[in-house]
């Protein structure tokens, strides 16, 4: 019996070994040319190729799983992986770079060269989309927030100061990337220039040409292309005749690809973003954003039949760690009322989940590739995905009130008026505040009965008001509380601070930046955060503030002192700490946040994600790579009221939190 089994296994292996690898097929005999789109089908090194690519963003997946996920892409029969490159993580402060050892909190996620090389080791080609703007439902579309601190700089235009910063960053990035191009023996076969520039409706071919020049000046020699939703914007974001145009869509493949061929005849056709599923904004119903496998499969089949190449976006679900989620909505630029932040999960309902499990869309993809792709190459086995574990509930015993942190915060910044985060003179090269919350404190206030606080304009994006350390806001309990005081939708909001007169009072305005827009018209990229307009008490402007940036950096989170027992009935913003033991082999888990209201969760110092009871996300994926053998520490910053226990979950939980009514 066992002999027979071995025999059968050997047969299979021998058969599979007969097929060339992807690289053997395309590069045996040497590399003479890169990717060409100058005929109605792609050629790589002179051989026909249908690019079947999967989107997988290295910065959204713990590096412990990079190889697992790349192998799952290859095992499905894909020959290419696509990734964006986020400028705001790689240059967190002006002139300060992190490509894997730069010391930022994201350091371990940022070794882009290692990722690209690993893709080659896993027999995949790479499509690289370095921006500078990447959209991607990522905070500010990947633009660094410190750009907003530069007066009059015009983002995503031919503005010389903006282009100077792009050129400096691209020089740093491309120094690492250029050796990894296909014609230099690496895996990168093509680069995208900008991203859906047509959606800005700021038709500016000179800007795109300036970017092309920066690519070429840095020895980027492979094929360059643009990508846009062509049925909406046509060639507004393209350079027809100069750069290959590609199409983004999730339905009507033939309508979209015909449009592509109208805009450029006789070139290779490619869907650069074929959306496999969708993402969630806060307050949305998760089920409304799911895409049935039948629809996914039929449109993918239409693309392959056309025939066209495709990048399945996303192939691998992933995570908007910490404060990195983007936001949507057209009215956002000058008017915050339409803000619609994305949630922490970027699962995307694609072929592979955030936790790495294969879905029915994975199988559908395998089936269609074997049916339509004629070049047969050797594929690896699909790696196993271990199940997640559920740790025991942990009683919450330790607490620090936010007011205690504010009181003891060293080096409070003095300022005559409130100012946005971006304009604080903190961090290297005065880059301003990069993440988190900002507190505006006013001391020695003498208040009349019924003193009225008024915040002019829109709050960016959520404000908690403390008077002598006590929370004045009411608890978030129902969806339409978001239309009331404290949230981004309300213009010129007011709240009564005190019924009784008070002398020598201390007022704190704690403002949470819930993310910047990642999408839209060119004038929607001026997005300051915090308070940008005047604050009044009883019609008098309040001057002379102390400003406290709460960035929640890893070193700071790990160094917090002053933990005490949870105080009874402590309503208001506070940090809660629990620890639990994890043993080897470390496994993924989820933090169940159904019983919490609003805030963030921190694991071993790293900000994992946001908590928002109005949903839809009610569990935060916690990959094994962020755990340690032995004791692990979770801190939750809660704005209103904490439950008694911290709980875990074996899987995602979608819906509203247990404290919220629809
Ligand atoms: C399309 O390209 C092919 C070969 O690359 C060429 O023979 C043909 O003339 C081209 N057709 C048009 C309309 O340009
Ligand atoms: C490449 O593809 C084109 C279009 O399908 C086909 O006409 C041509 O014969 C192919 N070349 C090779 C070498 O298979
Ligand atoms: C500040 O920016 C300059 C580039 O102008 C850079 O050389 C320097 O390393 C940056 N960082 C610090 C901490 O000064
Ligand atoms: C597909 O797109 C084409 C081009 O815009 C349009 O004419 C056609 O009606 C669309 N078909 C469907 C089913 O939406
Ligand atoms: C979400 O949508 C689904 C289907 O449309 C519906 O069954 C469910 O009740 C909705 N849930 C909420 C919380 O609105
Ligand atoms: C605003 O929030 C986003 C998302 O949390 C973050 O990435 C960005 O750096 C923040 N900007 C500032 C200036 O704090
Ligand atoms: C902000 O935008 C919303 C939606 O477009 C609009 O209803 C509101 O009037 C705008 N507010 C201001 C102050 O312009
Ligand atoms: C995918 O196919 C495999 C084997 O071919 C099967 O075991 C698995 O259940 C399928 N998965 C789904 C989600 O259909
Ligand atoms: C006013 O309050 C502060 C604390 O904010 C305290 O240190 C100070 O002694 C008080 N001054 C008076 C006159 O009560
Ligand atoms: C503030 O101004 C409004 C409108 O001018 C006025 O009705 C109100 O009485 C003023 N409040 C105080 C406390 O002066
Ligand atoms: C840690 O805390 C101590 C005092 O509590 C402080 O002196 C030190 O600067 C802190 N370190 C960091 C990295 O925040
Ligand atoms: C973790 O394990 C250590 C030793 O194995 C033990 O002393 C400690 O109490 C455990 N902590 C928790 C939170 O279970």
Judged against a pLDDT cut of 80, whether residue 81 lies above it is answered with yes
Q: Can you give the pLDDT at residue 379? A: 98
Q: How far is the CA of 192 from the centre of ligand 3 (A)?
A: 28
Helix (H) or strand (E) holding 514: none
User: Encoding tokens for residue 628?
Assistant: 């340690």
Q: 458: pLDDT confidence band, cut at 50, 70 and 90?
A: confident
Asked if 488 and 516 touch (Cβ cutoff 8 Å), the reply is no
Dump pLDDT digits (tens) for 616-634. Answer: 999 999 999 999 999 999 9
User: Encoding tokens for residue 311?
Assistant: 């990048």
Task: Say which residue the tokens 């949903």 belong to.
Answer: 615
Q: DSSP secondary structure string, 430-442?
A: G----SSEEEEEE
Helix (H, G, I), strand (E, B) or coil at 383: coil
Residue of 387, 289, 317 lying closest to 590 (CA atoms): 387
Identify whether 196 is a catalytic site residue: yes
Q: 259 φ, ψ to 5°? A: -60, -45
Q: Can you give the pLDDT at residue 461? A: 83
Q: 115: pLDDT confidence band, cut at 50, 70 and 90?
A: very high
Judged against a pLDDT cut of 70, whether residue 11 lies above it is answered with no
CA distance 270 to 263: 13
Residue ranges in 218-246 assigned as alpha helix (H): 230-233
Judged against a pLDDT cut of 60, whether residue 481 lies above it is answered with yes
| DSSP β-ladder status, 188-192 and 223-228 | parallel
**pLDDT > 70 fraction of the chain, expressed in percent and rounded:** 93
Residue 656 has, within 13 A of its CA and on its CB side, a CA count of 11
CATH code: domain 561-649 is 2.60.120.260
Q: Can you give the pLDDT at residue 110? A: 98
Q: Can you give the pLDDT at residue 346? A: 97
Q: How far is the CA of 297 from the centre of ligand 8 (A)?
A: 15
Residue 232: C-alpha distances to residues 120, 229, 237, 249 (Å): 35, 6, 11, 10
The domain locations on the chain are 2-316+351-372, 400-554, 561-649
Q: Which CATH architecture has domain 2-316+351-372?
A: Alpha-Beta Barrel (3.20)
Asked if residue 498 has its Cβ within 6 Å of ligand 6, the reply is no
- Of all ligands present, the nearest one to the C-alpha of 361 is 8
Asked if 453 and 495 touch (Cβ cutoff 8 Å), the reply is yes
Helix (H) or strand (E) holding 212: helix 205-217
Q: DSSP secondary structure string, 286-340?
A: GGGG---HHHHHHHHHHHHHTT-EEEEE-SB-EE--TT-B-EE-TTTTT-GGG-E
Neighbours of 54 (CB within 10 A): 30
Could you tell me the pTM of the whole model? Answer: 0.93
Query: Do the domains 561-649 and 400-554 match in fold?
Result: yes
Q: Can you give the pLDDT at residue 151? A: 86
Dump pLDDT digits (tens) for 241-263. Answer: 999 999 999 999 999 999 999 99
**Among 122, 139, 196, 422, which one carries the catalytic annotation?**
196
Dump pLDDT digits (tens) for 486-535. Answer: 998 889 999 999 999 999 999 999 998 666 666 666 666 666 656 667 89
**Among 194, 273, 512, 638, which one carries the catalytic annotation?**
273
Q: Can you give the pLDDT at residue 3? A: 38
Q: Can you give the pLDDT at residue 459? A: 83
CA distance 319 to 59: 9
The alpha carbon of residue 154 and the mean position of all alpha carbons in its chain are separated, in whole angstroms, by 23
Q: Can you give the pLDDT at residue 102? A: 97
Residue of 318, 482, 336 lying closest to 420 (CA atoms): 336
Report the number of secondary-structure helices (H) and strands (E) in the chain.
Answer: 13, 35
Asked if 150 and 163 touch (Cβ cutoff 8 Å), the reply is no
Residue identifier of the C-alpha nearest atom 14 of ligand 5? 285
Identify whether 512 is a catalytic site residue: no
CATH topology for the 400-554 domain: Jelly Rolls (2.60.120)
Asked if 379 and 77 touch (Cβ cutoff 8 Å), the reply is yes
User: Encoding tokens for residue 132?
Assistant: 């500078």
Q: Can you give the pLDDT at residue 529? A: 59
Neighbours of 606 (CB within 10 A): 17
Q: Can you give the pLDDT at residue 326? A: 79
Q: How far is the CA of 48 from the centre of ligand 2 (A)?
A: 6
Residue of 405, 413, 573 lying closest to 486 (CA atoms): 573
Q: 327: pLDDT confidence band, cut at 50, 70 and 90?
A: confident
Phi-psi region of 608 (alpha: psi -120 to 50; beta: other; left: phi over 0): alpha
CA distance 643 to 631: 22
């Amino acid at each position: 019996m066992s002999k027979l089994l071995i025999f059968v296994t050997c047969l299979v292996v021998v058969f599979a070994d007969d097929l060339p690898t992807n690289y053997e097929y395309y590069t045996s005999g040497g590399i003479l040319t890169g990717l060409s789109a100058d005929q109605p089908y792609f050629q790589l090194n002179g051989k026909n190729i249908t690019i079947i690519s999967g989107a997988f963003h290295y910065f959204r997946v713990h590096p412990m799983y990079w190889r697992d996920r790349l192998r799952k892409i290859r095992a499905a029969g894909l020959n290419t992986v696509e990734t964006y490159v986020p400028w705001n993580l790689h240059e967190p402060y002006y002139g300060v770079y992190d490509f894997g050892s730069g010391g930022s909190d994201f350091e371990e996620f940022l070794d882009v060269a290692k990722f690209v090389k690993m893709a080659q080791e896993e027999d995949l080609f790479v499509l690289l989309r370095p921006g500078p703007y990447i959209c991607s439902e990522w905070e500010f579309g990947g633009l660094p927030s410190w750009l907003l601190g530069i007066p009059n700089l015009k983002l995503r235009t031919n503005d010389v100061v903006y282009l100077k910063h792009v050129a400096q960053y691209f020089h740093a990035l491309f120094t690492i990337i250029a050796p990894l191009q296909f014609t230099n023996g690496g895996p990168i076969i093509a680069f995208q220039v900008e991203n859906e520039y047509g959606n800005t409706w700021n038709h500016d071919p000179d800007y795109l040409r300036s970017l092309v020049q920066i690519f070429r000046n840095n020895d980027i020699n492979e094929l360059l292309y643009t990508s846009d939703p062509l049925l909406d914007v046509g060639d507004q974001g393209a350079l027809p005749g100069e750069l290959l145009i590609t199409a983004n869509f999730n339905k009507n493949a033939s309508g979209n690809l015909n449009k592509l061929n109208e805009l450029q005849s006789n070139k290779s056709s490619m869907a650069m973003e074929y959306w496999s599923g969708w993402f969630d904004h806060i307050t949305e119903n998760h089920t409304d954003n799911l895409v049935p496998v039948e629809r996914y499969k039929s449109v993918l089949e239409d693309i392959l039949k056309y025939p066209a190449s495709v990048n399945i976006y996303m192939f691998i679900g992933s995570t908007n760690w910490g404060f990195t989620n983007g936001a949507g909505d057209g009215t956002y630029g000058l008017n915050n009322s339409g803000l619609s932040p994305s949630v922490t999960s970027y699962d995307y309902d694609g072929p592979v989940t955030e936790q790495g499990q294969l879905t029915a869309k994975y199988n559908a993809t395998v089936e269609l590739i074997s049916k339509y792709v004629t070049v047969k190459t050797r594929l690896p086995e699909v790696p196993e995905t271990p199940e997640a574990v559920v740790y025991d509930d942990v009683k919450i015993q330790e607490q620090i009130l936010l007011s205690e942190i504010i009181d003891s915060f060293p080096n409070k910044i003095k300022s005559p008026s409130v100012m946005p985060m971006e304009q604080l003179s903190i961090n290297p090269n005065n880059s301003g505040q990069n993440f988190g919350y900002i507190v505006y404190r006013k001391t020695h206030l003498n208040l009349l009965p019924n003193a009225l606080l008024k915040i002019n304009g829109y709050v960016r994006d959520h404000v908690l008001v403390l008077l002598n350390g006590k929370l004045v806001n009411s608890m978030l309990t129902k969806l339409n509380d978001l239309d009331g005081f404290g949230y981004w939708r309300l213009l010129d909001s007011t709240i009564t601070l005190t019924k009784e007169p008070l002398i020598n009072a201390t007022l704190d305005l704690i403002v949470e930046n819930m993310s910047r827009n990642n999408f839209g018209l060119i004038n929607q990229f001026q997005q300051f955060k915090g308070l940008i307009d005047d604050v009044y008490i009883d019609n008098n402007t309040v001057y002379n503030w102390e400003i406290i940036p709460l960035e929640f950096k890893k070193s700071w989170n790990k160094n917090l002192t002053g933990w005490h027992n949870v105080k009874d009935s402590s309503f208001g913003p506070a940090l809660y700490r629990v620890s639990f033991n994890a043993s080897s082999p470390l496994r993924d888990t989820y933090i169940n946040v159904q019983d919490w209201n609003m805030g963030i969760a921190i694991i071993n110092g790293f900000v994992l994600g946001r908590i928002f009871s109005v949903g839809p996300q009610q569990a935060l994926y916690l990959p094994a790579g962020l755990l340690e053998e032995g004791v692990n520490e979770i801190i939750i910053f809660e704005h209103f009221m904490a439950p008694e226990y911290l709980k875990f979950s074996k899987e995602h939980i979608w819906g509203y939190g247990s404290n919220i009514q629809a």
